[in-house]
Structure 1
Amino acid sequence: MSHFISHVATLEIPVTNLEKSIEFYIDILGVQLEFKGEKNAMLTFKAKGVPTFYLVQTEEAQGTSFTNTNNGIIHSIIDFYTPKLEEFYYWLKEKNIHVGTLNIHPENGLGGFGFKDPDGNLLSATNVLHSGQ
């Protein structure tokens, strides 16, 4: 059987205030606006192009997180890569973005942390790259 899927094209994120969310994602992630409709917007990274972020306005925020029933830890469904994890963490704190605990393994320096968009959607940042990334 052949494989039909080659990559993630779009991540759809529910937002309650489209304008505020567009500003947040452009400022925090460095993405650019590709398309803006009345109740939705498409954003993309300048360098890579994929995946795009499709912000969809909704009446109530539904969240992008879940609780790991094995350990009770709340996970985001989107992890962003940064080689400058600590710098990014403190930059977000300076911008008064809600951030979680910075977790860095003492032996290898790898780790991550969670942060929230204006609707409370949980996002994560990590300095871990997996094979093929």
Structure 2
Amino acid sequence: MKIWVKRALIYTLFLMAISAGIFMILAAFRDNMMYFLSPSDLHSKHRSNNLQTVRLGGLVQKGSVRRDKNDKLLFVVTDQVQKVNVEYTGFIPSLFREGKSVVVIGQWIAQNNLLKATKILAKHDENYTPPEHA
């Protein structure tokens, strides 16, 4: 085999290996590219996917926050179009309020329109000021 054929073969194999690596990295991050789903996206894309871990983002609906007899926090996350019921047990962030933005991570149960949350991330707006300056 001539030297230029060997060299072309090595370059081709190298490019194929690099391309395969890039493809695997992009495939691994495909589902994690979006920070969260809105309630409308969750209803349309994950209608029948039960017990799938999802990140749901939206506003906590006013008047929806309550506790049940087992001390679970129940509330509704909305994007002003669709609503998702959320059930949560655990630490509640100090920024968690009705009418404010929230990202909830948990298991989606489509037939009950319920997200069993394992984590709540409350978000502040772009005009955040520390409490000592407010």
TM-score range, shorter chain: under 0.3
Larger radius of gyration: 2
TM-score with structure 2 setting the length:
0.27
TM-score with structure 1 setting the length:
0.27
